[in-house]
């Protein structure tokens, strides 16, 4: 398997629409995937993320808009001529063919010499950790090996574009982390322009150069992973990217470098870096569990929210707490076990401490701002 066999390309989606009268599909998606970038569409089931990949590959008709690869409109180009490698969510492997034949299939379609096919098959199987299973058929492979084989088949043809549709779905957590790291290394080494679809926030955050949160066929926000995680513009984006607490609040003070908001119970919290909020505006505070800390209620200083510990779970590297704060859902707090000087117990009265730099204020979709 060679590197740099094909020049890097970019992908432009221009008002891409795949609905055809059956929502959700992709609804006017316009995005630019840069040269050699790993770009992810993150969204729940039936959000339109896989439809975008299928449209790029040519497997799904486009009802409006264009797909451009390296400036060329490929919307009407047959799938086999697009230079795309596609890894399907279920692998789409042929149960009757041994592993080596899966990898060789696309190479034979390219009419490569037999010795070149053999060289690439051996190289790519070894690269994906599949040396020694060449003669085994998919039913005889583990789920992890089947996922590796699907990726090997896609990479063997040295595609201009690699499309990954939930490539890590249904794997156990340990295997998922291993393959996530290997995908990162593969992309670093091969630098093939990659578009990835997933519903898993951890996969999206770990793998992506940039990502787009998509729902209902529409892109909600685009940016680098840290930007979207730390500064979501809506509740939907915050929820898509991992666990978060949401508190209904009202703006009670506007400052030069932020605002002060008040919870329904009357607790006041400063929020830094806010733009267009005015006195009386309503919104939602987004509080990531790992950005919060706790102190005993009697020793608390500064802004925070008082409450009582209702649940504690130990997970080895961390403690997870749920704090009852009165009306509404409990606040979840995540504390690293290694640096924790005090382990709180059920029923303890505490104060959840909030940093104005890590808390985010977003519009309340139910009430507006």
User: What is the CATH classification number for the domain harbouring 329?
Assistant: 2.40.50.140
Question: Please, are residues 89 and 166 in contact by the beta-carbon 8 Å criterion?
Answer: yes
Q: Are residues 290 and 329 in the same domain?
A: yes
| Statement: residue 369 has pLDDT above 50 | no
DSSP state of 231: S
110-114, 192-196, 309-313: which range is least confident on average?
A: 110-114
CA-nearest of 364, 45, 33, 80 to 210 is 33
The mean pLDDT value of the chain amounts to 91
- Tens digit of each residue's pLDDT (9 = 90 or more) over 217-236: 999 999 999 999 999 999 99
Q: Are residues 224 and 286 in the same domain?
A: no
Rounded alpha-carbon distances, angstroms, from residue 58 to 7, 74, 217, 248, 339:
21, 8, 18, 44, 52
Question: Which pLDDT score, from 0 to 100, does residue 238 have?
Answer: 97
Question: Which pLDDT score, from 0 to 100, does residue 277 have?
Answer: 86
Residue 19 covered by a domain:
yes
- Tens digit of each residue's pLDDT (9 = 90 or more) over 48-68: 999 999 999 999 999 999 999
What DSSP letter does each residue of 244-277 carry, written as one string?
A: -EEEEEEEEEEETTEEEEEETTS-EEEEES--S-
Give percent of the chain above pLDDT 90.
76
As a whole number, mean pLDDT of residues 286-294 equals: 94
Q: How many domains does the chain have?
A: 2
| Statement: residue 302 has pLDDT above 80 | no
Q: How confident is the model at residue 340 (pLDDT cuts 50, 70, 90)?
A: low
Residue 3 covered by a domain:
no
Q: Are residues 301 and 203 in the same domain?
A: no
- Tens digit of each residue's pLDDT (9 = 90 or more) over 241-272: 999 999 999 999 998 888 999 998 888 999 98
Residue 358 covered by a domain:
yes
Q: What is the pTM of this model?
A: 0.92
**Which residues, including other chains, have CB under 8 Å from residue 3's CB and lie 6 or more apart?**
189, 190, 191
Q: Are residues 54 and 167 in the same domain?
A: yes
Positive/negative CA dihedral, 78, 83, 88, 94: positive
Report the distance separating Cα 189 and Cα 1, nearest Å: 11
Question: Which pLDDT score, from 0 to 100, does residue 341 have?
Answer: 67
Q: Are residues 62 and 210 in the same domain?
A: yes
Report the distance separating Cα 342 and Cα 350, nearest Å: 12
Q: Are residues 336 and 320 in the same domain?
A: yes
Residue 283 covered by a domain:
yes
As a whole number, mean pLDDT of residues 40-45 equals: 96
Question: Which pLDDT score, from 0 to 100, does residue 3 have?
Answer: 40
| Statement: residue 320 has pLDDT above 80 | yes
The range of the structural domain enclosing residue 188 comes to: 11-235
Question: Please, are residues 269 and 249 in contact by the beta-carbon 8 Å criterion?
Answer: yes
As a whole number, mean pLDDT of residues 326-335 equals: 88
Q: Are residues 248 and 179 in the same domain?
A: no
- Tens digit of each residue's pLDDT (9 = 90 or more) over 102-150: 999 989 988 899 999 999 999 999 999 999 999 999 999 999 999 999 9
Q: Are residues 159 and 255 in the same domain?
A: no
- Tens digit of each residue's pLDDT (9 = 90 or more) over 74-107: 999 999 899 999 999 887 899 999 999 999 998 9
Q: Are residues 299 and 177 in the same domain?
A: no
Q: Are residues 45 and 182 in the same domain?
A: yes
The CATH number linked to 210 is: 3.40.50.300
């Amino acid at each position: 398997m060679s590197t740099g066999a094909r020049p890097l390309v970019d992908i432009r989606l221009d008002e891409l629409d795949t609905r055809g009268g059956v929502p959700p599909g992709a609804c006017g998606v316009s995005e630019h995937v840069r040269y050699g970038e790993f770009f992810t569409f993150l969204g729940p089931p039936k959000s339109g993320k896989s439809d975008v990949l299928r449209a790029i590959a040519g497997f799904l008709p486009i009802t409006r808009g264009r797909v451009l690869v390296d400036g060329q409109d490929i919307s009407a180009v047959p799938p086999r001529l697009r230079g795309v490698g596609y890894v399907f969510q279920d692998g789409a492997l042929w149960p009757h063919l041994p592993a080596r034949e899966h990898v060789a299939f696309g190479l034979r379609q390219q009419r490569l010499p037999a010795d070149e096919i053999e060289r690439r098959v051996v190289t790519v199987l070894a690269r994906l950790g599949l040396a020694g299973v060449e003669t085994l058929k998919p039913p005889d492979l583990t789920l992890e090996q089947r996922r590796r084989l699907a990726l090997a088949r896609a990479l063997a043809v040295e595609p201009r574009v690699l499309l990954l549709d939930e490539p890590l779905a249904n794997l156990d957590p340990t295997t998922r982390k291993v393959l996530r790291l290997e995908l990162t290394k593969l992309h670093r080494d091969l630098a093939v322009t990659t578009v990835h679809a997933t519903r898993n926030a951890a996969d999206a955050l770990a793998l992506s150069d940039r990502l787009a949160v998509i729902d209902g066929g529409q892109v909600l926000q685009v940016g680098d992973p840290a930007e979207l995680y730390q500064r979501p513009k809506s509740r939907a984006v915050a929820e898509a990217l991992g666990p978060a607490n949401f508190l209904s609040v009202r703006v009670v003070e506007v400052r030069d470098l932020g605002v002060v908001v008040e919870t329904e119970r009357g607790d006041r919290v400063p929020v830094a870096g806010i733009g267009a909020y005015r006195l009386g505006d309503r919104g939602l505070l987004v509080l990531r569990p790992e950005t919060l800390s706790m102190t005993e209620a009697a020793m608390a200083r500064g802004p925070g929210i008082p409450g009582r510990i209702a649940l504690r779970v130990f997970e080895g590297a961390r403690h997870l707490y749920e704090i009852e704060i009165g009306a509404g859902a409990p606040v979840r707090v995540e504390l690293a076990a290694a640096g924790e000087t005090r382990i709180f117990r059920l029923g303890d009265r505490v104060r959840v401490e909030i940093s104005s730099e890590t808390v985010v204020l977003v519009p309340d979709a139910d009430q507006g701002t």
